[in-house]
Amino acid sequence: MAMATFERELDFFHLDGLLTPDERAVRERVRAFCDESVIPIIADYWERAEFPFELVPGLAALGLAGGTIKGYGCPGLSHVAVGIGAMELSRGDGSVETFLGVTSGLAMQALAFCGSEEQKQRWLPSMARLELIGAFALTEPEVGSDASHIRSTARRVGDRYVLNGAKRWIGNASFADVVVVWANDEETGKVGGFLVEHGTPGFETEVIGGKIAKRPLKNAAITMTNVEIPAANRLPGARSFRDTAQILKATRYGVAWEAVGHALAAFELARAYALQREQFGRPIASFQLVQQKLVVMLGDLTAAQLMAWRLSRLLDEDLNQVTEGMASLAKQQCAARARNVVALGRELLGGNGILLEHHLARHFADMEAVYTYEGTNEINTLVVGREITGLQAFV
């Protein structure tokens, strides 16, 4: 099915008018890359659960890696531009967006926020060119949403650290050149960040199979058994879980935009299908129940677009004015609305909605993952609840 061009029906409240020329340029080049390079090939990779590494040079050429980081070969984009880029990549495919987002948003931001000057000089320029790939290992198999109580440990032994523990659902970890591992520093009793380079003995990864969402993305389970790294590979600015939380707060807006991208794709595909598909002698878009679905989809899409834009613009104005609750509300609301949009889109396509050739099935499945990661719907809800009541509902 031919994709619709960028037009008013896909931007009902003129979000385009809120973007700077540079931000619109990001949108246009990422959309063109997805239309020309991602969408024509991704269904086959999705079905085979293989990542299209052939796309990496094209991804690098988009100039998105490093996002808002200034210097070190990074683009120094606005938060809105980074979000728009995430939206358009997600509209193409969620796994491609997450592959870039893990390196650019999580691993590189951890280095930018908490790394030493030497660490930044060593890693960031090559990562900005996607010559080196990063990963961010926080989630653990027995901890889940209670990320502040991770069990992995780091013990100082002379001029080295020895890491032990397990991680799970870590994107890119099976092939990443550097993994930012979060572990309890036994010396301080607090969470710290540690850079583990590819091939380090005792650092074992196993790709998680059997996924129904984000199938091309390589998520891995990690086992660390007496993993030795130089003391110089400790992130000096990561001294407690609060530093980890700051990175998550600064990157969660990107997941809100990712959800918007899935919703945008679903609305675009469903509208085009409804205008082309004929039943009872006329396009199904002419029937009341179909129009009702499209209107609900558009309402949720538009609300999510504007919330994600406003949060990103606030980040551009002053990072410190954005609270954890604001970031959590945007992720929770955008993900919930996008989940509804992709479900309605799948329903509107009928039986064709479960076929990869019509693309919507990918977005329908991938939104289940987006709805869960970077804080489940429930955890993000409680983070906001704590902020507006002053009372914590979870231990």
8: confidence class by pLDDT, cuts 50, 70, 90: low
Same domain, 258 and 347: yes
Q: What's the CATH code of the domain at 16? A: 1.10.540.10
> Which residue's entry shows tokens 């037009």?
7
Same domain, 63 and 80: yes
Which of these three, 201, 233, 265, is where a domain ends? 233
pTM of the predicted structure, to 2 decimals: 0.94
Same domain, 70 and 200: no
CA–CA dist 371, 85 (Å, integer): 19
Angle at 382 between CA 379 and CA 388, to 5 degrees: 150
Same domain, 65 and 112: yes
Same domain, 115 and 13: yes
pLDDT higher than threshold 90 for residue 67:
yes
pLDDT higher than threshold 60 for residue 4:
no
Is 395 inside any structural domain?
A: no
Same domain, 150 and 118: no
pLDDT higher than threshold 50 for residue 289:
yes
pLDDT higher than threshold 50 for residue 1:
no
**pLDDT computed for residue 149 by the predictor:** 81
CA–CA dist 293, 341 (Å, integer): 9
Same domain, 112 and 165: no
**pLDDT computed for residue 76 by the predictor:** 96
- Convert the pLDDT of each residue in 290-313 to its tens digit: 999 999 999 999 999 999 999 999
CA–CA dist 56, 356 (Å, integer): 23
Is 46 inside any structural domain?
A: yes
CA atoms within 13 A of residue 211's CA, in its CB half-sphere: 24
pLDDT higher than threshold 80 for residue 392:
yes
Mean pLDDT of 149-174: 95
Alpha helices in the chain (DSSP H): 21-33, 39-48, 56-61, 79-92, 94-101, 108-114, 117-128, 241-276, 288-317, 324-348, 360-372, 377-389
Is 377 inside any structural domain?
A: yes
Which amino acid, residue 294? L
CA–CA dist 164, 32 (Å, integer): 44
Same domain, 37 and 123: yes
CA–CA dist 244, 152 (Å, integer): 15
Is 394 inside any structural domain?
A: no
pLDDT higher than threshold 90 for residue 251:
no
- Convert the pLDDT of each residue in 184-204 to its tens digit: 999 888 999 999 999 999 999
Integer-rounded Cα radius of gyration of the chain: 21
Is 70 inside any structural domain?
A: yes
47: which 2 tokens?
């079905």
Is 280 inside any structural domain?
A: yes
Q: What's the CATH code of the domain at 198? A: 2.40.110.10
Is 3 inside any structural domain?
A: no
CA-closest candidate to residue 141, choices 154, 156, 151, 132: 151
- Convert the pLDDT of each residue in 213-239 to its tens digit: 999 999 999 999 999 999 999 999 998
Say what percent of the chain tops pLDDT 70: 96
Same domain, 263 and 158: no
**pLDDT computed for residue 5 by the predictor:** 44
CA–CA dist 366, 53 (Å, integer): 19
Same domain, 260 and 338: yes
Helix (H) or strand (E) holding 136: strand 134-137
Give residue 111's domain range.
8-128
Do residues 280 and 378 make contact, with C-beta atoms less than 8 angstroms apart? no
Same domain, 224 and 194: yes
Number of domains in the chain: 3
Same domain, 155 and 62: no
Angle between helices 288-317 and 79-92 (to 10 degrees): 150
